[in-house]
C-alpha cells in the first residue's frame, strides 16, 4: 500500500549565503551531463502533483525505478529569496535519506532521482534553478543515485530544463501561496519497514494503480 505522511514545514532560513559559481549549473552544463530523458514527464509530474498538492516555493523530489515508476517521493518548502547551491543540495539529500536507502555500494545505480520546483510566475529558467540543478546532481552523487530530470512547475505550466518538453498541466494555481510558515503540508512516501498502524502519522492514500511502498514519515 502506498501512503503519504504529513510533517511540519522546516523553519525559514535566517539569512541567504552568497552563491558560488561552482555551485550552479546553466542549461548547457546540465545538458552536457547527459541527464536521462523521461519517457512520459507529463504523467510523472501529474502523479506527483496529485500526491503532494504543492504550493509555491515547494520542491518535490522523487526516486524512480528502472521502468520510471516513482517508488518514493518527498516534498519540502524552501522559503523566499535567493537560494544557495549548498542549501539546495542539503535539502534534497536530507529528504532522499528519509525515503530511500543509499546505493553507494552498487557499481551502477538502479534508481534515478528527479526534482520538480514549484514557484510563482512563469516556467522559464532562472538563475536560482541553476542552484537547484547543482544541488540535485551533487545529492545524487552523495546518495549513490542516478541524476534525473529537473522540472519547473509554475503558473503557466511546466517545463523540463534543457529538454525542450513543456506543457500546461500540471500548473501552479495563480495566487496559491506556500512555503514554510504558510501551513503547506509536507508529505513523504517511500520504502520503509512495516510498522504498526498506531505508530504511523496521519495519512492519505493514493489510488490503487501505481507503486506500493510503505511510508517513512518526514522529520518534524
pTM score of the predicted model: 0.76
Q: Tell me the domains of the chain and their CATH numbers.
A: 3-8+23-205 (3.40.140.10)
Residue pLDDT, tens place only, 33-61: 989 999 999 999 999 999 999 999 999 99
Question: In this predicted model, what pLDDT tens digit does every residue of 97-117 receive, in sequence order?
Answer: 999 999 999 888 999 999 999
pLDDT digits (tens, 9 = 90+) for 188-213: 665 543 333 333 333 232 333 444 33
Please report which confidence band the pLDDT of residue 6 belongs to, taking 50, 70 and 90 as the band edges.
Answer: very low
How many CB atoms within 10 Å of residue 142? Answer: 16
Query: How does DSSP assign 83-130, residue by residue?
Result: --HHHHHHHHHHHHHHHS---TTSSS---EEEEEEE-SS--S--HHHH
Question: Which pLDDT tens digit goes with each residue over 64-87?
Answer: 999 999 999 999 999 876 778 999
At 176, the pLDDT band (50, 70, 90 cuts) reads: low
First to last CA, the chain: 23
pLDDT digits (tens, 9 = 90+) for 114-159: 999 999 999 999 999 999 999 999 999 999 999 999 999 999 999 9
| pLDDT at residue 217 in the model | 35
Amino acid at each position: 500500500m502506498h501512503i503519504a505522511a504529513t510533517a511540519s514545514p522546516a523553519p525559514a532560513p535566517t539569512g541567504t549565503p552568497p552563491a558560488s559559481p561552482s555551485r550552479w549549473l546553466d542549461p548547457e552544463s546540465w545538458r552536457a551531463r547527459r541527464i536521462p530523458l523521461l519517457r512520459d514527464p507529463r504523467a510523472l509530474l501529474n502523479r506527483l502533483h496529485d500526491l503532494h498538492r504543492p504550493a509555491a516555493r515547494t520542491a518535490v523530489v522523487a526516486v524512480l525505478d528502472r521502468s520510471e515508476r516513482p517508488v518514493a517521493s518527498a516534498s519540502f518548502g524552501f522559503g523566499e529569496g535567493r537560494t544557495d547551491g549548498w542549501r539546495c543540495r542539503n535539502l534534497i539529500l536530507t529528504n532522499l535519506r528519509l525515503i530511500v536507502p543509499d546505493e553507494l555500494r552498487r557499481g551502477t545505480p538502479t534508481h534515478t532521482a528527479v526534482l520538480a520546483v514549484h514557484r510563482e510566475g512563469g516556467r522559464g529558467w532562472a538563475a536560482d534553478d541553476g542552484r537547484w540543478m547543482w544541488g540535485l546532481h551533487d545529492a545524487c552523487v552523495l546518495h549513490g543515485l542516478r541524476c534525473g530530470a529537473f522540472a519547473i512547475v509554475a503558473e503557466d505550466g511546466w517545463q523540463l530544463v534543457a529538454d525542450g518538453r513543456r506543457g500546461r498541466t500540471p500548473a501552479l494555481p495563480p495566487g496559491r501561496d506556500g512555503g514554510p510558515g504558510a501551513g503547506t503540508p509536507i508529505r513523504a512516501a517511500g520504502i520503509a519497514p512495516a510498522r504498526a498502524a498506531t505508530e504511523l502519522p496521519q495519512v492519505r492514500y493514493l489510488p490503487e494503480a501505481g507503486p506500493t511502498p510503505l511510508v517513512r514519515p518526514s522529520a518534524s
